[in-house]
Amino acid sequence: MSRAVLSIGSNLDDRLAYLQSAVDQLSPYLQGVSPVFSTPPWGPVPQGDFLNAVLIVDDATASPHGWLQRAQACEQSAGRTRDVHWGPRTLDVDVISVDQVISDDPVLTLPHPRAADRAFVLLPWWALDPEAMLPGRGSVLELIEKLPDAERGGVRIMPGLELRR
């Protein structure tokens, strides 16, 4: 079994449609889809808010790098470009964790090195799996509780916006 947690986000054009495209491409492996959240952008580049969600996927044949390849294929299908670091994007798919793997591989660091600091990852993940654990870091709920109020407060659930499995 290879269980992965993927964070998906979009802040260009039809944001929900881009998130749905990732769900559709990963549907053979989907175990769960979080609610959709609205999130202010991170970093120094002025841009619109993101829609974010978390997916739990499972495939006994997938390696961590296999999940990365699938994530990048979703981004490519959505026309993702990497022109500006932390800039706007059609679709961003990050591999947050795979099983209990801890790795400092420069191509795919696991768990994702900034996941524990990002409410836009932790809140959707916790909404989907209240017992979730970030390998090597502990309970997702405890990580959420340690975040600054400003970080948590900017991430809002979007009632009425749903991703179809």
- Among the listed residues 16, 96, 115, 88, the one whose alpha carbon sits nearest the alpha carbon of residue 55: 96
- DSSP assignment string, 65-77: HHHHHHHHHHHHH
Query: How many distinct helices (H) and strands (E) make up the chain?
Result: 5, 8
Annotated catalytic sites, by residue? 80, 89, 92, 94
d(CA 115, CA 106): 16
Count how many Cα atoms sit within 13 Å of the Cα of residue 124 in the half-sphere of its side chain: 31
Q: At what angle do helices 15-25 and 64-77 cross, to 10 degrees?
A: 140
At a CB cut-off of 8 Å and minimum separation 6, what does 2 contact? 58, 59, 60, 61, 62, 63, 64, 66, 67, 98, 99
